[in-house]
Amino acid sequence: MNTENYTIISEIYLLGFNVNWKLELFFFFLFFMVYISTITGNTIIIMVIWQSSKLHSPMYLFLGHFAFMEIGYTSVTMPKMLTDLVSGNKRIAVPVCITQLYFFFLLGGIENYFLAAMAYDRYLAICVPLRYSTIMSNRFCHQLVLISWLTSITCSFMPMYFLSKLYFCGRNKIDNFFCDASPVFDLSCTDTTLLKTYLFCLVQIVVFCCLFFIILSYMQIIVVILKMPSNSGRRKVFSTCGSHFTVVTLYYGSSILMYVRPNHEYTSVFDKCLSVFYAIVTPFLNPIIYSLRNQKIREAIKSYKCKYFICHKA
């Protein structure tokens, strides 16, 4: 498209929550506490897994990387949102906006891969326990983590690179608190049909492939559970998989509603509420879910706290 008759924009205005300053102040304190809690909770999980020898197993290795990813995922959007709420300066440069979008998709992709890897780990531990230690070695776990990072970095880079080459002009407002894909595409005065189709097809492939793998793993786990003769064995399996299954349900429920629905047919208010849920609430709930539903994590946290206070008493 010829851009000579358009004014090329260099900044984008994030409308945020479109409320009065009193509500913005309330949202600032609310989301600030949520952000601090998210960082603290995930950091505690990382430190406990790192320091407790009982948690040096593949399952908790994935959980530690997952917690690290969640810290980055929530830090991509929340600091800017908090700054906007307290300062009122809701402008963001176009390159910064695209960079934020890149890391948001990169870390979102890694979350899919980690959830799939954790499901595979549970499948091996429950369905083929005699071969578990042979297959799920530390080397293999680190290879899975490295492949997850490299795949997500590569897949996210190409569409964001081509997006950075587009011209943005005319209306420079996004009705959200961060730079999401569809609103950014709408600001372009060049044809984005091919790039938009490629990006959302890529998202759907990653989401549904990982989700299919997770469902397949849990189907095998359910078959094994049904064959167990004792209720205690079933409860032990449920307690092992419960936290992961809860996180999978929360993440994929919100992600599919946001990115895989047809034609983005919901209102901007619904989109914004959904964005708050999967970008802010879910990373906040994950460390709570894992610490409350996992007995080993609870015991390790309790042991770490006792050790910490004893050291200070001494």
Task: State yes or no: pLDDT of 6 exceeds 70.
Answer: no
Task: State yes or no: pLDDT of 63 exceeds 60.
Answer: yes
Domain 11-313 is classified in which CATH homologous superfamily? Rhodopsin 7-helix transmembrane proteins (1.20.1070.10)
Give the pLDDT confidence of 156-186 residue by residue, as tens digits. Answer: 888 888 888 888 887 788 888 898 888 888 8
Give the pLDDT confidence of 194-250 residue by residue, as tens digits. Answer: 888 888 888 889 989 999 999 999 999 888 888 877 777 677 777 778 788 888 888
On whether the CB atoms of residues 77 and 96 are closer than 8 A, the answer is: no
Check residue 314 and give its pLDDT.
43
Average pLDDT score over residue span 15-26: 84
Task: State yes or no: pLDDT of 5 exceeds 60.
Answer: no
Give the pLDDT confidence of 116-160 residue by residue, as tens digits. Answer: 999 999 899 888 888 888 888 888 999 999 999 999 999 888 888
Domain segments of the chain as ranges: 11-313
Check residue 117 and give its pLDDT.
92
Q: Output the pTM of the full model.
A: 0.87
Average pLDDT score over residue span 57-82: 91
Check residue 273 and give its pLDDT.
82
Task: State yes or no: pLDDT of 47 exceeds 70.
Answer: yes
Using CA atoms, how far apart are residues 109 and 131, in angstroms rounded to an integer?
29
